[in-house]
Amino acid sequence: MGYILEFLLRTEAAAVAVFYSLLIGVFVNRTIKLKDIPSILLRSGVTAGAIMFVLGTVSAFGYVITREGIPQQLTGRRYFSCA
């Protein structure tokens, strides 16, 4: 709702959605126990860290192959200019 009315950004709306689902899970549905929250956060952090590691590695790999001109070598071009 806040994203549609433009008083929340996408990231903020995602944080609100996570907090809302946590409240519903703990207090309404009672499917999440308060003692389970630290392990849930730990698993989420490990998963996010693994994804960030993959993204960082891919970014560095892309930089190296671009800097070395490997795409141009594979296509047979010696010099490439965007201008």
For CA atoms 62, 65, 68, 74, the dihedral sign is negative
Specify the pLDDT at position 49: 98
One domain for residues 28 and 62: no
One domain for residues 52 and 28: no
- pLDDT band at residue 71 under the 50/70/90 scheme: confident
Domains identified in the chain, total number: 2
One domain for residues 1 and 26: yes
Side chain identity, residue 51: I
One domain for residues 81 and 43: yes
End-to-end Cα separation, the chain, in angstroms: 44
> In terms of pTM, does the model score above 0.75?
no
pLDDT digits 0-9 by tens, 17-58: 999 999 999 999 999 999 999 999 999 999 999 999 999 999
One domain for residues 41 and 74: yes
Range of the domain at 69: 34-83
